[in-house]
């Protein structure tokens, strides 16, 4: 127990550096995944047939293969096709492309739950199809999606740990370093687990706040608690 | 002298083998209120949806203000700006307040500047008597209030014709009156209206003409007086008798008393 705390204290600056990198990876991956995922969901729901086929193909590909394989393909594989990306850039790309596939499915579920009638209402006042999607469907879908979508930032934050395998200096890499230096893997990884836990806790609070803020009066999905 | 504002010529709609309606002819003069009645499943709602192009008809033509709107190259978004539609289930935008519901079309379709749009939206809410509910979300309004906001939203686009698809069918009985009152006022102001409804009191009192639709074709049309008291067709007589039994008791009693 003493060694655990000593390692935690001694390596805290290093862990915090790693945690910052982990947060960065999560944020960038989440953002790429959000934009691309929303595009994929809209394409799959409202797009012409060929676009739907592309979107479905993308989802199958990225959800059907391990993230680690995707990461290695991007970092080690792309150079042979003449495209060399830095470690960090490879990590961003792999996390973003992978997350997009999962986020797309959350968004699609929310869009479908809005139903065809809101589209009819938008078209009836003269809004075009795309304007209705933008001004009517998506604002509602993005609110509805929050509870389910909240899994993604938390899951992604922990998933980023795989990038230490291409030597990105994230929290996991720092943990491995501490373990090698001190010959005390149990204490090192436990210390880092605590840091992950704290980050997830804070992230969860932020997401809950977001959900409360975006609530539409009179449109609550859950029944009022008594 | 009023001229036809909306003309429907030989309109036909079918889903596969199933003919919803066929060879419908209808001419609506400016300022007229036409009430369409008939048993359910006779294509009344589909007819309205075809008129503002939410559903494509299979044959025939629709003309609005001497322009065909059913042509291949017609811009349906443009056409719909001139035809207001009110739905049975209100279909307000749930994430927007009453005012924002009315304003959306003004800013995003008509591209009005925000200040003008705001003013116009408030005027339209006042027209349906809901200015004091401007900041409420649909979920905070009663069904009757929601439907009145939906009417204001359609009116804000300054449509040439208003279509009402059973606007009171989803409402509790005590909320029907306020919606009919707004529609009655609109009719008096000279709005051209096409109304599908089972409210026979409203039909008798407000309609200039009643069209009885059954099994996809017009069985009979005429003034409320002709249809209610001197129906030529046996089916019209039967239907009106049945529907008055169901819905119109109160009106009949009032009429007698």
CB B11 within 8 A of CB B23: yes
Q: Where are the domains of chain A?
A: 2-225
| For residues B222-241, average pLDDT | 91
pLDDT of residue A215: 86
ipTM confidence: 0.90
pLDDT of residue B2: 67
Whether the per-residue pLDDT at B252 is higher than 60: the answer is: no
Whether the per-residue pLDDT at B108 is higher than 80: the answer is: yes
- CA dihedral angle for residue A150, residue A155, residue A158, residue A164, rounded to 10 degrees: -120
Name the band, by pLDDT with cuts 50, 70 and 90, for residue B16. Answer: confident
CA distance A217 to chain B (A): 6
Pick the residue of A117, A126, A214 with the most B CBs within 10 A to test the interface with B by mutation. Answer: A126
pLDDT of residue B248: 53
CB contact under 8 A, B77 and A118: no
- Euclidean distance between CA atoms B140 and B171, whole angstroms: 15
Candidate from A129-143, B138-152, B227-241 with smallest mean pLDDT = B227-241
pLDDT tens-digit profile of A83-120?
A: 999 999 999 999 999 999 999 999 999 999 998 999 99
Name the band, by pLDDT with cuts 50, 70 and 90, for residue A222. Answer: very low
Q: What tokens does A13 get? A: 């600056």
A46 burial (CB, 10 Å; 0-12 / 13-18 / 19+) is middle
CB proximity A215 to B under 8 Å: no
pLDDT tens-digit profile of A16-35?
A: 999 999 999 999 999 999 99
Q: What tokens does B64 get? A: 């609005």
Q: Which residue of A has its CA nearest to B89?
A: A117
Q: What percent of chain A has pLDDT over 70?
A: 96
* 3-class secondary structure, A175: helix
Q: What tokens does A134 get? A: 């933008």
| For residues B143-169, average pLDDT | 97
Q: What tokens does B182 get? A: 């707004």
Architecture per CATH, domain A2-225, reads as Orthogonal Bundle (1.10)
Whether the per-residue pLDDT at B255 is higher than 50: the answer is: no
Place of tokens 């066929």: B22
- Euclidean distance between CA atoms B158 and B153, whole angstroms: 10
pLDDT of residue B199: 92
Say which of A125, A127, A139 has its CB closest to residue B95.
A139
| For residues B109-113, average pLDDT | 96
Report chain A residues whose CB lies below 8 A from the CB of B117: none
B257 burial (CB, 10 Å; 0-12 / 13-18 / 19+) is exposed
pTM for the model? 0.88
Report chain A residues whose CB lies below 8 A from the CB of B52: 124
* Chain-centroid distance, C-alpha A170: 16
**Rg, Å, chain B Cα set:** 18
Beta bridge partners of B68: B63
Q: What tokens does A132 get? A: 């209705």
Report chain A residues whose CB lies below 8 A from the CB of B93: 118, 121-122, 136, 140
Report chain B residues whose CB lies below 8 A from the CB of A135: 104, 108
pLDDT of residue B245: 76
- Euclidean distance between CA atoms B94 and A219, whole angstroms: 7
CB proximity A124 to B under 8 Å: yes
pLDDT of residue B249: 53
- Euclidean distance between CA atoms B182 and B188, whole angstroms: 10
Host H or E run for residue B165: strand B161-165
pLDDT of residue B32: 95
Q: How many helices (H) and strands (E) does chain A have?
A: 11, 0
Question: Residue B218: CB partners within 8 Å, gap ≥ 6?
Answer: B24, B25, B26, B211, B212
Pick the closest to residue A174 from A2, A21, A49, A9 (CA basis).
Answer: A21
Say which of B91, B109, B138 has its CB closest to residue A126.
B109
């Amino acid at each position: 127990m003493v060694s655990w705390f000593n390692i935690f204290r001694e390596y805290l600056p290093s862990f915090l550096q790693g945690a910052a990198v982990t947060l960065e990876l999560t944020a960038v991956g989440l953002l790429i995944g959000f934009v691309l995922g929303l595009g994929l969901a809209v394409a799959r729901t409202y797009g012409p047939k060929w676009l739907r086929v592309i979107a479905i193909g993308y989802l199958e590909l990225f959800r059907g293969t391990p993230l680690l394989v995707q990461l290695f393909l991007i970092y080690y594989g792309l150079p042979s096709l003449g495209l060399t990306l830095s470690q960090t850039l490879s990590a961003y790309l792999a996390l973003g492309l992978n997350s997009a596939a999962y986020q797309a499915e959350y968004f699609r579920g929310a869009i479908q739950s809005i139903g065809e009638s809101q589209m009819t209402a938008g078209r009836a006042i003269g809004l075009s199809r795309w304007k209705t999607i933008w001004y009517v469907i998506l604002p509602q879908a993005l609110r509805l999606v929050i509870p389910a979508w909240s899994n993604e930032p938390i899951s992604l934050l922990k998933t980023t740990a795989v990038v230490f395998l291409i030597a990105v200096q994230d929290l996991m890499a720092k943990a491995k370093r501490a373990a090698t230096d001190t010959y005390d893997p149990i204490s090192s990884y436990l210390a880092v687990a605590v840091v992950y836990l704290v980050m997830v806790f804070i992230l969860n609070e932020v997401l809950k706040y977001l959900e409360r803020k975006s609530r539409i009066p009179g449109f609550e999905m859950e029944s009022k608690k008594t | 002298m009023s001229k036809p504002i909306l003309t429907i010529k030989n309109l036909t709609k079918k889903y596969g083998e199933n003919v919803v309606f066929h060879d419908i002819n209808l001419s609506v003069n400016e300022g007229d209120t036409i009430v369409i009645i008939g048993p359910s499943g006779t294509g009344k709602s589909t007819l309205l949806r075809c008129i503002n192009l939410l559903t494509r008809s299979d044959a025939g033509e629709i003309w609005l203000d001497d322009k065909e709107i059913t042509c291949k190259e017609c811009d349906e978004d443009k056409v719909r700006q001139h035809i207001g539609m009110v739905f049975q289930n209100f279909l307000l935008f749930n994430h927007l307040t009453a005012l924002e519901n009315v304003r959306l079309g003004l800013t995003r379709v008509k591209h009005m500047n925000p200040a003008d749009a705001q003013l116009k939206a408030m005027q339209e809410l006042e027209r349906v008597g809901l200015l004091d509910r401007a900041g409420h979300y649909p979920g905070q309004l009663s069904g009757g209030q929601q439907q009145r906001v939906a009417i204001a939203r359609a009116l804000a686009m300054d449509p040439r014709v208003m279509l009402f698809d059973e606007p009171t069918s989803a409402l509790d009985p005590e909320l029907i009156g306020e919606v009919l009152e707004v529609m009655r006022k609109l009719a008096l102001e000279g709005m051209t209206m096409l109304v599908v409804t089972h409210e026979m009191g409203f039909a008798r009192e407000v309609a200039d003409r009643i069209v009885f639709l059954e099994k996809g074709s017009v069985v009979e049309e005429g003034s409320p007086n002709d249809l209610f008291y001197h129906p030529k067709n046996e089916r019209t007589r039967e239907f009106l008798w049945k529907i008055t039994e169901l819905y119109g008791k109160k009106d009949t009693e009032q009429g007698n008393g």
